[in-house]
Chains A and B, each alone.
Chain A
Amino acid sequence: MPEDIPIALELAKKQREIGVAEFFARNRHLLGFDNKRKALMTTIKEAVDNSLDACEEARILPEVNVEVIDLQNDKFRVIIEDNGPGIVKKQIPHVFARLLYGSKFFKLSQSRGQQGIGISAAVLYSQLTTGKPAKITSRISPKEPSHYYELKIDTQKNKPDIIKEDVVEWKKEHGTKIELDLEGSYLGGSQSIDQYLKQTAIINPHVTITYTNPKAEQIIFPKATDKLPPLPKEIKPHPYGVELGVLITMLDNTETRTLQAFLTQEFSRVGPNTAKEICQNAALLPSTKPSDINRDMAEKLLQGINKTKIISPPTDCISPIGEELLEKGLKKEINAEFYCAVTRTPDVYRGNPFVIEAGLAYGGQQNAEESITIYRFANKVPLLYQQGACAVAKSIIQTNWRSYGLSQSQDSLPIGPLTLAVHVASVWVPFTSESKEAIAHYPEIIKEMKLALQECGRKLSIYIHKKRSLQVESQKRDYIQTYIPHVSDALKELLGLKEADQKKIEARLGEILRKHRGELEKVEMENPEYDEEFAAIGKKKKEKQETLDEVKEDD
């Protein structure tokens, strides 16, 4: 080593900014691209989520085409096409080929996407594994041309790299189509594309999805309603939910001139008086310029916020699925005996309003000897991975299902012929990681989930107990009935009756039994909505499960 040159100087030569795209290229698991199977799944999920968000915002009934083509050697081509509002020409490269670029991060409203990472991460993954660009076609109106792009991401600069740009003929009046080649693997089962699309259809009954799988089989999930869900309202952040870093960014970006105006205009539920109180509690002047507030002052401001009593954020910005549709979805998927669903009233965690919904399907053809089946949804998106790490699993485990008639060991999921569905709708769903697979364990969220589950559980226990008492009654009747021939036989011997008289006695005794004990009520529900073919989609086939080790990979 050369004398007297500090090692740090040498090291400094290697130190440079790491591009966000570069970072994610090396940490693909953070975005849900940990393995080939999941990568294919995540790519489709991100594209479909975007399509549905865009359609809903534009008040269009979504029709989404998903096609997966097997290119052999673990390579697949994924084509997703929607009838959404389209994307204006100059934004196309940024939306698809720039990470952390999007419309949803800066507003608070209940939407599927949040951070603006998803689809560009898929583009990045495609580029890393096949070296091919993403092919985008988009049109915003029949009067406008369709724009075609071939895009790559400059990973160092996190900028779009336009490979090709063109105007093309396209039969769609408006919409967007994305085509990606990527490395992947296609498997069936509970974490499959089929399962994801099916659950998406269940939880979004207004959506039509046409899916062509790698075996070139086409499955259509038709819409069950023409009614679009109400457009979720956008709200400003509530002061209680803001963290220091975000607060500093907001202070830097605001157009307001005073701290007072900043507080009243950038936040929800802050009026002039509350703003003054916050300033007082923070020992800051209301007239301070936001741009003059340094880090220390921002920290004081945050403390001031937390000392001040501020009313909860508005909750009408949440659009839940609703008890009726949730139950309907379960009926379509599961042939059970009893269904119920509950939508809770909104609550707030860290300044973010949220609504919990839960539904259940009990009995029927479901396996009574195994752990229950769980469906998890966040803002109408199915969550297929990391069930064990999710607040939903925790809430279910912490609920005492034994009192509702199921068996359950300590700290485990209950056992029984039951499917539970839990949906979290919020302006900001807290996930445990960027790959959005599991919901974080916020006490407020877990509390609401448990309340929703308990409400369903109580309804279930009424049903189970009724069913059991009817079973007992039915057993008693059968028991009594076995002795009717003996009674008639004894009377025949005692009175020297004829066969015909004996038959008459038996018939009359049967009538007396019914008269005295009432007609036996039937408890099991008919479920005309059950769709066997539909239910079979995405289910693992036994032999497959045993031969493919890869299935085990995630949960």
Chain B
Amino acid sequence: MTNVLTEIKNIANGIYTKILAKKQPKLETPLRALTNVKYDEKEGYFEILGKKKIRTLTAASVKTFAQTLKMMALSKELVEKDDIATKREAYYVSKNWGEARFNSQPDSDTVMDDVEAMLMVNREQIGFIPEEKGGEIAGKLIVIDKDTETKKDLRIDCTKFGSGAYSIPISIEHLKFETDAKFILAIETAGMFQRLVKHKYWKTANCILISMGGVPTRACRRFIRRLSEDKKIPVYAFTDGDPYGFGSIYRTLKVGSGNAAHINRFFCVPQAKFLGVTPQDIIDYKLPTHPLKDVDMKKIKDLLKNDPFVLHYKEWQKALKQMYDMKSRAEQQALAKWGLNYVIDKYLPDKLKHPEKFLP
């Protein structure tokens, strides 16, 4: 913690010294974008490169320059007082900043992420926490947390939530795990998760079920990573068979994102594999499809052209081209065509027989 404070003060001091020397003050923040990452095969995630954004006294950047400094000041205050603010709260705090206030929360989030990237820390370390939940868990897992009052260990058995589930907390570094599950199944939609929980699929398959609810949050990614690494269990992703499922949900789970390029090393699950729904599944299981829209076609082209992860894997290129030619997509729940429990009785067991055939 003191580290972060020192770093914040060092940056502020650098600016102050420059101003006193009548030199143009500058703030350099790493560019957080896919154009500034490379896929590191050995480490298995998107590593940030050296491109920087510069904010200084120009008409285009002075407002963000001032906002970044104000955001740093807010962060300093939070860390010193051992307090936290949600991203939205930080946005509302800025409403006191006069002309330097943020006009929308995305603007505020961007500056916050920039401060985080500049300091090369996780935002929780500088006092900011996200709004969203980290995902839900059901299955063969005991999470060992601490009681906030008594500080005693708290054992949470994820088999005992009935038709409900355990929520991944925002901060997970202190958690410990006990499990004998064979694999972790990371599921895109809450609907599919519910079906598998209802029929206790975790018991049948001896696994841990995780609902990502779309693109997995940082906490969710970190949780899966730590669990998988601690307990040496494989991670299988189960998403819709569409470019969003492949390129956004699975890709972010496995190697991180452009936007969080500076912290991908912690927030990725390089050992994850893709179970389905693959384009080939659509054919093999004769799934009902939807035609691809223009945006989907564009997303596929963009992935094939610009995504360092896709560019690295021939298998993904093949799969994406296959979908491009099919011009159609299928949802996870399309498996219900063959009966509501077809996914439990047939699809998943079939697929799990050949994990070597999963997409990388």
Contact = CB atoms under 8 A, between A and B. Distances in A.
Contacts of A489: 70
B66 A491 contact: no
A513 interface: yes
B73 interface: yes
Contact of A495 (B13, B23, B57): B13
Nearest to A495: B12
Interface string B61-105: 011011101101100110000000000000000000111100000
B76 A493 contact: yes
Nearest to A472: B59
B8 interface: yes
A459 B63 CA distance: 37
For A476, A486, A489, A516, which residue has the most chain B Cβ atoms within 10 angstroms?
A: A486
Contacts of A508: 19-20, 22
Interface string B1-29: 00000001100110110011011110000
Contact of A494 (B12, B24, B65): B12
A292 B201 CA distance: 130
Nearest to B12: A494
A508 B66 CA distance: 16
B58 interface: yes
Contacts of B25: 487, 509, 512
A509 B57 contact: yes
A511 interface: yes
B20 A483 contact: no
Given A479-B62, A509-B57, A491 B12 contact: yes
Contacts of B76: 493-494
Contacts of A494: 8-9, 12, 69, 72-73, 76
A505 B12 CA distance: 13
Interface in A100-152: none
A402 interface: no
Contacts of A516: 24, 57
A479 B16 contact: no
A512 B19 contact: yes
A191 B58 CA distance: 54
Contacts of B8: 494
A483 B67 CA distance: 9
Contacts of B99: 482-483, 486
B19 A505 contact: yes
A163 interface: no
Contacts of A58: none
A490 interface: yes
Given A495-B13, A516-B24, A490 B66 contact: yes
A303 B205 CA distance: 114
A515 interface: yes
A512 B12 contact: no
A337 B63 CA distance: 34
Nearest to B58: A480
A553 to B, nearest CB: 55
A505 B62 contact: no
Contacts of A490: 12, 66, 69-70, 72-73
For B9, B59, B73, B77, which residue has the most chain A Cβ atoms within 10 angstroms?
A: B59
Nearest to B60: A476
Nearest to B8: A494
Interface in A494-533: 494-495, 497, 504-505, 508-509, 511-513, 515-516
Given A483-B99, A486-B98, A491 B57 contact: no
A442 B49 CA distance: 72
B249 to A, nearest CB: 38
Contacts of A482: 99
A512 B65 CA distance: 15
Given A480-B59, A495-B12, A487 B22 contact: no
Contacts of B13: 495
A493 B78 CA distance: 12
Contact of A487 (B9, B69, B77): B69
Contacts of B9: 494-495
Contacts of B24: 512, 516
A483 B15 contact: no
Given A480-B59, A495-B13, A487 B65 contact: yes
A516 B57 CA distance: 9
B70 A476 contact: no
Contacts of B58: 480
B73 A504 contact: no
A509 B62 CA distance: 12
A120 B160 CA distance: 122
A486 B70 contact: yes
A493 B19 contact: no
A472 B199 CA distance: 67
A486 B97 contact: yes
Interface string B261-286: 00000000000000000000000000
B16 A486 contact: no
Given A490-B73, A491-B15, A494-B9, A483 B65 contact: yes
A487 B97 CA distance: 11
B73 A493 contact: yes
B358 to A, nearest CB: 49
Nearest to A504: B20
A464 B86 CA distance: 50
B132 to A, nearest CB: 28
A528 to B, nearest CB: 36
A503 to B, nearest CB: 12
B19 A509 contact: yes
Contacts of A515: 22
Contacts of B15: 491
A463 to B, nearest CB: 24
A483 B16 contact: no
A483 B97 CA distance: 10
A427 B19 CA distance: 70
Nearest to B71: A490
Interface string A469-487: 0000000100110110011
Nearest to B77: A493
B27 to A, nearest CB: 10
B57 A513 contact: yes
B255 to A, nearest CB: 35
Contacts of B77: 493
B69 A476 contact: no
Interface in B96-147: 97-100
A253 B54 CA distance: 89
A483 B63 CA distance: 6
Contacts of A493: 73, 76-77
Given A490-B12, A509-B19, 10 more contacts: A479-B59, A480-B57, A480-B59, A483-B66, A483-B99, A486-B66, A487-B69, A490-B73, A491-B15, A508-B19
Interface of B: 8-9, 12-13, 15-16, 19-20, 22-25, 57-59, 62-63, 65-67, 69-70, 72-73, 76-77, 97-100
5 contacts: A480-B57, A483-B66, A511-B22, A512-B19, A516-B57
Which A-B residue pairs are the 5 nearest by beta carbons?
Answer: A490-B69, A494-B12, A486-B66, A476-B59, A493-B73
Interface of A: 476, 479-480, 482-483, 486-487, 489-491, 493-495, 497, 504-505, 508-509, 511-513, 515-516
